[in-house]
């Protein structure tokens, strides 16, 4: 027995070691080496000496647990949120501003270099302010405390399914934070519970979706939900249920796995037309949920995509409008691809240009078309899956400029069509440097020149960054 105890103790000591952090990874982890093997350490920064628990070797690397910092980097700062390091939402609150900006830009330049575009220099990072995120998807878990089943509502720990119950968040609009406590009380009353809650503060109206109900709401619950949103000034509440064969639709959450819609798997909203009627049910809507783009008031379908922050949305629109340099004296013909509800297209229309929108989500395309008709704007909107059926070279021929803002997977098929076309100017918007670099390579190989590339830090303290690029076709 003594021999086995000694062996176990030796193994435990081997799993714990000291390493020096040499680099900062794309995901925000500090990177060092142990016996020549890369070790990734969340919360560690270059220049620091740390003691870690290596854990198992997986895919030729260790994802170690930080036990102790033996020295601090000059790049370290005090995180503004007490949940940092526990909550998996943010990965970079501990990095001071200057090295933080350098890290964000390095992720972009590395992706470009991987595609042979290392000579491209991005513009300075446009920073979005804290407490400005207007949409989030919260996770829920339930446990028995003092004989009562109580919900934890927040974000999951990094690499874990455990939900960190939060009372505040440094990136979210205060208006959304005030709903967290009431929502905990509400979901505790729902039979079978709720798996996730989506909150969106639209320019007009607050929208709530309760996901993962195990049964359809009965009359009593429907009345309870309607009373809840009336009391808290919520414009609309919908439920997504697993009962009765309902299926979960792809949604735009996450830039990354943080459940805060960091991701841009996001040009897909809740669309009964796409996934079958009854997928999502609006329980009550006492007010409007809409976005205003010039004179166009767009009614948002439940779960419709909206840029993560109003600041970021405005920054994207400014870069596109300025970068395309469309002639003011002549009406330009513009295609807005993956148009969503028309956040960019309507802005171009307000400048006098003729805009045709294409969007894969049927409900969003219909909402944009309805808003254009109601406002008397010469904008058309068509539902079209651009990944499977991109605009052809012949279809692109009438357009002076094209905008595309695809999901995280990018727009390879459409980029190939553009590369073979004669379109003079292209604006590309992306939240994924890797797929953007691939699509940029296609356009450049097809004769375009990348004239400007502007990174926008819309996903504060995450590993993600928004991009706006302007391409111009080379003469001759």
Sorted by where each begins, the domain ranges of the chain are 2-76, 102-129+292-473, 135-289
What is the Cα–Cα distance from 348 to 383, expressed in whole angstroms? 19
Q: State residue 146's pLDDT score.
A: 58
In the residue annotation, 431 being an active-site residue is answered as yes
pLDDT tens string, the chain, 476 residues long: the values are: 555 555 555 445 568 999 999 999 999 999 999 999 999 999 999 999 999 999 999 999 999 999 999 999 999 999 999 999 999 999 999 999 999 999 999 999 999 999 999 999 999 999 999 999 999 999 999 986 656 668 999 999 988 899 999 999 999 999 999 999 999 999 999 998 999 999 999 999 999 999 999 888 999 999 999 999 999 999 999 999 875 443 333 333 333 333 333 334 444 333 333 333 337 899 999 999 999 998 999 999 999 999 999 999 999 999 999 999 987 657 899 999 999 999 999 999 999 999 999 999 999 999 999 999 999 998 999 999 999 999 999 999 999 999 999 999 999 999 999 999 999 999 999 999 999 999 999 999 999 999 999 999 999 999 999 999 999 998 75
Q: Which CATH architecture has domain 102-129+292-473?
A: 3-Layer(aba) Sandwich (3.40)
C-beta neighbour count of 333 within 10 angstroms: 15
Read off φ and ψ for residue 390, nearest 5 degrees. -65, 160
Q: Are 92 and 103 in contact (CB under 8 A)?
A: yes
Q: State residue 268's pLDDT score.
A: 37
Domain 2-76: which CATH number of 3.30.70.100, 3.30.1330.30, 2.40.50.140, 2.30.40.10: 2.40.50.140
CATH 1.10.10.10 fits 135-289, yes or no: no
Q: State residue 148's pLDDT score.
A: 64
What is the reported pTM? 0.88
Q: Are 335 and 348 in contact (CB under 8 A)?
A: no
Q: State residue 14's pLDDT score.
A: 61
**Residues 219, 221, 227, 232, Cα dihedral to 10°:** -150
Domain pair 2-76 / 135-289, same fold? yes
Q: Are 337 and 331 in contact (CB under 8 A)?
A: no
- Whose structure tokens read 């003092």? 146
Q: State residue 242's pLDDT score.
A: 76
Q: State residue 86's pLDDT score.
A: 93
CB-neighbour burial class of residue 331 (10 A; exposed 0-12, middle 13-18, buried 19+): middle
Q: Which of 17, 81, 169, 431 is catalytic?
A: 431
């Amino acid at each position: 027995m003594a021999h086995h105890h000694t062996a176990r103790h030796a193994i435990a000591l081997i799993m714990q070691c000291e390493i020096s952090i040499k680099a900062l990874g794309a995901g925000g982890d500090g990177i060092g080496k142990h016996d020549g093997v890369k070790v990734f350490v969340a919360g560690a920064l270059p220049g620091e000496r740390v003691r870690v628990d290596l854990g198992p070797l997986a895919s030729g690397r260790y994802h170690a647990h930080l036990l102790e910092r033996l020295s601090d980097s000059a790049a370290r700062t005090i995180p503004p949120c007490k949940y940092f390091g526990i909550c998996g939402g943010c990965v970079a609150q501990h990095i001071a501003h200057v090295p933080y900006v350098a890290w964000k830009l390095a992720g972009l330049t590395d992706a470009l270099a991987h595609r042979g575009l290392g000579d491209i220099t991005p513009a300075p990072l446009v920073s979005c302010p804290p407490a400005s995120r207007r949409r989030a998807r919260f996770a829920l878990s339930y446990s028995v405390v003092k004989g009562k089943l109580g919900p934890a509502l927040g974000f999951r720990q990094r690499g874990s399914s455990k939900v960190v119950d939060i009372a505040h968040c440094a990136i979210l609009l205060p208006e959304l934070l005030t709903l967290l406590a009431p929502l905990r009380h509400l979901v505790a009353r729902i039979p079978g519970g709720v798996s996730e809650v989506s909150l969106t503060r639209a320019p007009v109206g607050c929208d709530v979706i309760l996901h993962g109900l195990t049964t359809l709401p009965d009359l009593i619950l429907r009345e309870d939900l309607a009373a809840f949103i009336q009391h808290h000034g919520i414009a609309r509440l919908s439920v997504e249920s697993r009962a009765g064969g309902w299926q979960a639709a792809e949604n735009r959450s996450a830039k990354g796995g943080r459940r805060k819609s960091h991701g841009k798997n996001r040009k897909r909203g809740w669309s009964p037309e796409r996934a079958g009627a009854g997928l999502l049910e609006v329980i009550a809507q006492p007010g409007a949920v809409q976005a205003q783009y010039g004179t166009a008031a767009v009614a948002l379908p439940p779960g419709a995509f909206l840029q993560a922050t109003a600041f970021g949305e405005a920054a994207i629109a400014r870069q596109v409008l300025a970068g395309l340099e469309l002639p003011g004296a002549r009406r330009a013909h513009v295609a807005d691809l993956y148009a969503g509800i028309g956040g960019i297209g309507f802005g171009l229309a307000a400048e006098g240009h003729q805009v045709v929108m294409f969007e894969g989500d049927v409900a969003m395309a219909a909402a944009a078309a309805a808003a254009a008709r109601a406002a008397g704007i010469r904008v058309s909107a068509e539902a079209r899956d651009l990944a499977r059926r991109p605009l052809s070279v012949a279809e692109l021929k009438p357009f002076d400029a094209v905008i595309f803002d695809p999901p995280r997977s990018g727009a390879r098929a459409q980029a190939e069509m553009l590369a073979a076309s004669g379109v003079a100017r292209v604006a590309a918007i992306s939240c994924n440097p890797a797929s953007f670099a691939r699509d940029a390579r296609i356009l450049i190989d097809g004769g375009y020149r990348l004239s400007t590339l502007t990174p926008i830090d819309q996903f504060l303290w995450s590993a993600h960054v928004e991009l706006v690029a302007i391409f111009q076709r080379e003469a001759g």
